[in-house]
Amino acid sequence: MTLKVDCDVIQADGGTRTASITGAYVALYQALKKINKLDALNDSVAAVSCGIVGGEKYLDLDYEKDVNAETDANFVMTGSGKIVEIQGTAEKNPFSEGEFMELLNLAKKGISELTTIQNEVIKCL
């Protein structure tokens, strides 16, 4: 089964793509529950942005940090920690493998927190 979910982010301070992905999972869960097709879902999915600004690593870049980032990346992962997509760009300076791993670890932490929130929300549906 292939489904397309169209998302509109009404208000944001950066990270609209990642917010759309994270929210779309909850909307999809709700829609599939309504038609009794939850078995179509294999796992949850969430996304975060990470970046390096002024030499510091950040999770969930706001607009100001995003436009000033030396490096930024979006990470999309499943609730079980599998990687769906990674998109990273050296906006001003190339980044090292070690810095990439630090960003990946930040992303894992953020996605774990988002997965917990998603699970709390869908329990109420």
Contacts of 55 (CB under 8 A, 6+ apart): 70
Cβ neighbour number for residue 107 with a 10 Å cutoff:
25
The pair of three-digit structure tokens given for residue 74, joined into one six-digit string:
């979006």
Q: What is the pLDDT of residue 15?
A: 82
On whether residue 85 sits in a domain, the answer given is: yes
Cα dihedral: 6, 21, 13, 120 (round 10) = 120
On whether residue 33 sits in a domain, the answer given is: yes
Residue 63 is part of which domain span? 16-123
On whether residue 52 sits in a domain, the answer given is: yes
On whether residue 10 sits in a domain, the answer given is: no
Dist CA 24 CA 42 (whole Å) = 15
Q: CATH number of the domain that 101 lies in?
A: 3.30.230.70
Q: What is the pLDDT of residue 58?
A: 98
On whether residue 73 sits in a domain, the answer given is: yes
User: Residue with structure tokens 């000033």?
Assistant: 68
On whether residue 8 sits in a domain, the answer given is: no
Mean pLDDT, 10 residues at a time, the chain of 125 residues: 83 84 96 95 97 97 92 97 97 95 98 98 95
What's the first-to-final CA gap in the chain, in angstroms? 22
Q: What is the pLDDT of residue 11?
A: 78
pLDDT digits (tens, 9 = 90+) for 29-45: 999 999 999 999 999 99
The pair of three-digit structure tokens given for residue 65, joined into one six-digit string:
């940090």
On whether residue 2 sits in a domain, the answer given is: no
Domains in the chain, number:
1
On whether residue 93 sits in a domain, the answer given is: yes
Q: What is the pLDDT of residue 14?
A: 74
